[in-house]
Structure 1
Amino acid sequence: MEKNALLNNVNTLIQMHSKGLLGGDTMPEDVLINVVKEHELINVLTLAMSLNYQRNSYSLWESVVKAYKDPQTKWIFNPIIVANINIDELREALLLHRVGLQPNRHPEIWHRVAKGIVKSSEQGNVQGLIESVQFDISSLKEIMQETRKSDFPYLSGPKIFNYWLYVLESYANVSWKCRELITIAPDTHILKATVKLGLCSKDVLNGGAEDRMTVASAWEKALEGSGLAPIDVHTPLWLWSRAGFPPLLVS
């Protein structure tokens, strides 16, 4: 598709989203609003995001709210406590409200991510981790996707990592340096919407790692010089696909 035509369609989608025309415009993480305390939100978002892989996001975040509200399980969102807790206690707490679904893998991931956060921050929390790199995305990528990748399973993957950056910006008011480095998070809905717009061929619908990289790269090139960061189009594309691709019209 010719670039100007693509950008026109993208801007139309953004307008449709802003006007509530894409339906289902409540995002999964919205259930945290006015429930999780502001100073705790960044830890809750980060730890829960580490399990947001191949599962229903709406169900995950609803479970997170239940666990947060329960005095018996709220501690699972404190990285310092989690990093020092017995894995069996963590397993029981994660499974109680179905924050974790896999009894072995999910507690292991949660435990490792919490330890990774504590090791990377003098404060032992996500805010400290981000402040240690002075809100610089490239430095954070180097830590979480390269030098310390094994400490951040799932969260270090390109899809979840970039969406995590976007979520922290959107819900926890994190102001990133060089936010244009936040690439689009190519999940199934993004792949479908990208093909629907004609930016990539149907081959990317296979959904492999290379396909996702192809889509992310295509969006970076397509939006270069447009004033839009790739992640800015994520939610409109995601909702458009989820709504079954209604016509691109703005009333």
Structure 2
Amino acid sequence: MTSNLFINNVKRLVQMHAEGLLGGEVMPEDALLGVVPTDEMANVLTLGMSLNYQRNSYTLWQSIAQAYLDDRSRWIFHPHAASSSDLGDLRNTLLQYRVALQPNRHPDIWQRVAKGIAQSSPSGDVLGMIAAVQSDIATLKSIMQGTRKSEFPYLSGPKIFNYWLYVMESYAGVGWKSRELITVAPDTHILKATVKLGLCTSDVLSGTADDRQAVAEAWERALTGSGLAPIDVHTPLWLWSRAGFPALSGTEEMVR
């Protein structure tokens, strides 16, 4: 497949998503819309995303929305409060709404991430942490995936980290510098869609860390000069795979 045809297929896929032709118009994080106010969305998204690993995303975010709606449990989404709380109290609250499923590991991760946020921000919250690095993705990446990686378990992983950057932009209104640095978050659906489009061979479907890195880098190379950032194609690819790969009508040639 020529590069021009590949880019045309990708742009058609993005267009189909914009036209609502891929189904799944309701994304997991949409559960927060109308529930969490804009000024608190960054905290809720970040702490919630820290447990979005090997979970049903729709169920997780519904649980988070229910926990936020309860005035008695809303404190868990305030990084300073969560970081300084009694771990037993935090555990009980997270388990009550099934935000946490593992009674030891999940509350520990939540509190560690809350501490990492509070200690990175003059205001003790996520927006303050982002402001402290002037919304620079490269600087934030060097902190969360480098010098202070241990403070951001799960969230520092390349898949969740890049998807977190995307949802912060999409739901919390964060304007990132160098947003082209946000790669696709190569979960199983992204791997399958990447192979379907012919960008990578089926070898990457084994889903190792190297495979996921190779897919992310392949998208960066493929979209250079196209006017699209890699993260722009993440949701269309994800939904296309979930929908069973409907034909990309309107392209010069159907994908394999």
TM-score range, shorter chain: over 0.9
Match of 2:67 in 1: 67
TM-score using structure 2 length: 0.96
What is the rounded CA distance, in whole Å, between the counterparts of 1:250 and 1:45 in structure 2?
Answer: 36
Amino acid at match of 1:119: Q
Corresponding residue for 1:197? 197
AA aligned to 1:118 is A
Deviations along 1:57-103, whole A, 9 cap, x unmatched? 10000000000001121111000000101111111010111111111
Aligned partner of 2:230 in structure 1 is 230
Which letter does structure 2 place at the counterpart of 1:136?
Answer: D
Aligned to 1:50: 50
Does residue 38 of structure 1 match 2:49? no
Distance 2:131 2:244 in 1: 40
Separation (CA, whole Å) in 1 of partners of 2:178 and 2:208 = 28
Q: What is the match of residue 102 of structure 1? A: 102
Q: How does 1:82-97 map to 2 (within 5 A)?
A: 82-97=82-97
1:150 aligned onto 2:150: yes
Once the two structures are superposed, residues 133-183 of structure 1 have per-residue CA deviations (whole angstroms, 9 ceiling, x without a partner) of 000000000110000000000000000000000000001110000000001
Give the equivalent residue in structure 1 for 2:220.
Answer: 220
Alpha-carbon separation, structure 2, partners of 1:243 and 1:44: 29
Instruction: Name the residue aligned to 1:175.
Output: 175
Counterpart CA distance in 2 for 1:179 and 1:31 is 25
TM-score w.r.t. structure 1 length? 0.98
User: Could you tell me how far 1:250 is from its partner in structure 2?
Assistant: 5.2
Q: For 1:222-242, what per-residue CA distance to the aligned partner results, in whole angstroms no more than 9, with x for missing partners?
A: 000111100000000000001
Whether contact under 8 Å (1:16, 1:250) holds in the other structure is: no
CA distance in 2, matches of 1:11, 1:74: 41
Following superposition, the deviation at residue 4 of structure 1 comes to: 1.0
1:189–1:242 CA contact under 8 A, matched in 2: yes
Distance in 2 (alpha carbons) for counterparts of 1:127 and 1:50:
16
Deviations 1:94-141 (A, max 9, x none): 011111111111001000000000111111000110000000000000
**Secondary structure, in 3 states, of the residue corresponding to 1:120?**
coil
Contact 1:64 1:99 in 2 (8 A): yes
CA RMSD after TM alignment: 1.0
Report the CA distance between 1:26 and its aligned residue: 1.0
SS of the aligned residue for 2:119 comes to: helix
Q: Which amino acid aligns with 2:20?
A: G
In 2, distance between residues paired with 1:249 and 1:48? 37
Distance 1:110 1:49 in 2: 10
Q: Distance in 2 between matches of 1:2 and 1:220?
A: 17
Name stretches of at least 5 consecutive residues in structure 2 with no aligned partner: 252-256
